[in-house]
Amino acid sequence: MELLKKRILQDGTCFPGGILKVDSFINHQMDPILMKSIAVEFVRKFASTNVNKIMTIEASGIAPAIMTGYLLGLPVVFGKKKSPKTMKNALCTKVHSFTKDRDYDVVISSDYLTPQDNVLFVDDFLAYGNAAMGVIDLIKQGGANLVGMGFIIEKEFQHGRQRLEAEGVRVESLAIIEDLSDCRIKIKD
């Protein structure tokens, strides 16, 4: 997605340890016009599947997920990082965050992840694939079907895609970062 690649090169910054910061347009302040274009791309890639539900994890996945759900007219559900006491029938998985270097739980009610659901998972980043593997676990627990996973930005050098494809998952990313070493952003053509 050319518009996104240009924006990453223009406004993205990198941090040691292979972290890309896109806080001015995706992760903190958000550009809704760009976010809509991102959702249009996800729709283009997945509209021909039998998707009937969009799933993400709070917080940064919610914006692209809700835009995609809006365009497709489908419900959007997000995994929560803290389990509310009032949540019934919680499904739970553990995810390791490499940006924060800690484990956290992701919970979702089995009321919203069922064998009737054909799920498209949408998120901001694919890095090592830990969050996405947790989602695969939740989808299995709920008995739902995963139709694919769409990421705004994939960091190819952290190899998350291989783990997901080994599970038979269709992976689509809108911008692929080949390298961030020496704090230079190298994006795949």
CB 55 within 8 A of CB 120: yes
Q: Least distance from C-beta 110 to ligand 5GP, angstroms?
A: 22
Q: Least distance from C-beta 46 to ligand 5GP, angstroms?
A: 19
What pairing do the DSSP bridges indicate for beta strands 53-57 and 76-79?
A: parallel
Measured CA to CA in angstroms, residue 22 lies from 27, 44, 55, 83, 125 at distances of 6, 24, 22, 28, 10
CB 155 within 8 A of CB 187: no
Q: Between 19 and 52, whose beta carbon lies closer to ligand 5GP?
A: 19
Binding site for ligand 5GP (CB under 6 A): 19-21, 27, 60, 97-99, 123-132, 160
Instruction: Provide the CA 122 distance to its chain's centre, in angstroms.
Output: 4
Q: Between 131 and 144, whose beta carbon lies closer to ligand 5GP?
A: 131
Q: At what angle do helices 62-72 and 32-46 cross, to 10 degrees?
A: 60
Q: Least distance from C-beta 131 to ligand 5GP, angstroms?
A: 4
Q: Least distance from C-beta 93 to ligand 5GP, angstroms?
A: 12
Q: Between 45 and 96, whose beta carbon lies closer to ligand 5GP?
A: 96
Q: Between 58 and 111, whose beta carbon lies closer to ligand 5GP?
A: 58
